[in-house]
Amino acid sequence: MSQIDVDDFAAEAGAWLAANGEPKLADDGASGEVVWGEGELDVAVFHNLSHGDESDLLHALRSWQQRKAERGYHAITWSPAYGGLGLTASHARAFRKLESGYVVPSSHESFSVTIGLIVPTIDLFGTPEQKERHIASFLRTDELCIQLFSEPGAGSDLANLSLRADRDGDEWVLNGQKVWTSGAQFAQWGECIARSDFDAPKHKGMTAFILPLDLDGITVRPIRQMSGGQSFNEVFFDDVRVPDDMRLGDIGAGWKVALTTLGFERDHSDSGGGATNRPGGSWAQVLGLARWLGVTDQPVIRQQLADLFVNKRVEAWAAKRSADLAKGGTPGPEGSIGKLIWTENMTRMSAVVSSLLGSRLAADSGEWGTYVWNDHVLGAPGYRIAGGSDEVQRNIIGERVLGLPGEPRVDKGIPFKDVPR
Ligand SMILES: Cc1cc2nc3c(=O)[nH]c(=O)nc-3n(C[C@H](O)[C@H](O)[C@H](O)COP(=O)(O)OP(=O)(O)OC[C@H]3O[C@@H](n4cnc5c(N)ncnc54)[C@H](O)[C@@H]3O)c2cc1C
């Protein structure tokens, strides 16, 4: 079937956005300029909001997503069977570029996790019933789904997880604890990786589930972080009974499911899958700040700005290269390169704005667009850990991209119950 040309699609989408959206005053997208002092400067990496304000943000995001869903713009690359348009990543990129010229609610990690990570995982591993039950609904964000992966004893070494799943007839009984679960206080579903066989070697005895978070025995407790908000939670499982038809993938294949979801998390290829924009400030906003401060003629500042600009360009090219390599399929270990460049650039941006702002970052003077950068500086380190830390990304690049010798592993091939923990 022939597809609409990208230019024709952009003309149609542009007309729809003009009729349905509010153009940005402080335009940071199309022109690359920031009108300093106008509108709201959102440079936050994580939200620093009360529970009520965060609920309102999710409501606003959901309304915009559902409005786009009336025309399929919420899921441009997804099949019409799931409410999408079945078009290419180029069409999705064209839409995102146009959309960036409009006032839209700022992104939220539970949206990008649901749309960008969980939906493609269900598409790969789900039964026909699970796909029908979840994919269209998650793409429209009628319901949200989060990752129940990390535990107090399993982070970088995720395969060390020990939340147990015991089979009981047509059900499983889950007991244990997850931690750092982003968005669990707002989501309806979770992708949970559990240990179903303690006699199997570490990577072989896990099973994945897509389960509702309101099951009896699940307790969600928010954790406050240094940036002020409560993005993530502890989640406790006490004798939680999960029907077997909520199992995602085969029994014992949980590691494969988890790695697939993590692959989408590390993929920064901008391949157009539909996740919302990445958080955390832009080059244009940093330049706008430097111009407002009148320091763009200072040699050291110029050098820092140029360094940030060059590395942001490298980030964009690396994302494009990953998209070309993945060709719309499951992202490979190359995704770790993009994730690493992205987090290094966030650190770089924090350093530049810190030297630009000096004491304005420490004390709120009420000046527009100054103290707000704290939301960037205090949040940026989080993404150096989330989705696999910088060190872990380097290990992946070393071992799986460059083919260097692996780290020594003392737990290979032995039953999980015998692994010293
Ligand atoms: C903002 C944020 C959101 C998150 N959201 C979620 C979520 O929604 N769901 C979820 O399940 N988890 C989530 N996490 C958890 C995240 O995946 C883990 O924090 C991460 O994998 C690191 O694990 P850890 O915290 O246990 O640190 P550890 O694994 O204990 O690591 C501690 C330090 O040791 C280093 N290290 C560990 N192993 C090695 C190694 N082999 N080589 C070199 N260095 C190493 C690490 O780089 C790190 O610096 C989130 C974390 C953050 C910060």
**Domains of the chain as residue ranges with CATH:** 145-252 (2.40.110.10), 261-401 (1.20.140.10)
Which tokens hold the place of 337?
Answer: 């390169």
Average pLDDT of span 264-286: 69
Average pLDDT of span 244-257: 98
pLDDT confidence bin for 328, thresholds 50/70/90 = low
Average pLDDT, the chain: 91
CA of 279 to the centre of ligand 1 (A): 20
CA of 148 to the centre of ligand 1 (A): 13
- Conformation bin of residue 249: beta by default, left when phi > 0, alpha when psi is -120 to 50: left
Residue nearest atom 18 in ligand 1 by C-alpha distance: 155
* Catalytic site residue from 191, 265, 315, 334: 265
Q: pTM of the full predicted structure?
A: 0.91
pLDDT confidence bin for 37, thresholds 50/70/90 = confident
Residue whose tokens read 């799931």:
82
CA of 190 to the centre of ligand 1 (A): 19
The lowest-confidence range among 36-40, 247-251, 366-370 is 36-40
Q: What is the pLDDT of residue 27?
A: 47
Q: What is the pLDDT of residue 335?
A: 83
What does the angle CA 158 – CA 213 – CA 190 come to, to the nearest 5 degrees?
40
CA of 269 to the centre of ligand 1 (A): 22
Q: Assess whether the C-beta atom of 239 lies below 6 angstroms from ligand 1.
A: no
In the residue annotation, 265 being an active-site residue is answered as yes
Share of the chain above pLDDT 70, in %: 94
Q: Assess whether the C-beta atom of 385 lies below 6 angstroms from ligand 1.
A: yes
Smallest CA-to-CA distance from 401 within 340, 312, 353 is with 340
Smallest CA-to-CA distance from 179 within 241, 257, 236 is with 236
Mutate to test the pocket of ligand 1, among 45, 179, 233, 385 (most ligand atoms within 8 A of CB): 385
Q: Assess whether the C-beta atom of 232 lies below 6 angstroms from ligand 1.
A: yes
Kindly report, residue by residue over 61-119, the tens digit of the pLDDT.
Answer: 999 999 999 999 999 999 999 999 999 989 999 999 999 889 888 788 899 999 999 99
Q: Assess whether the C-beta atom of 160 lies below 6 angstroms from ligand 1.
A: no
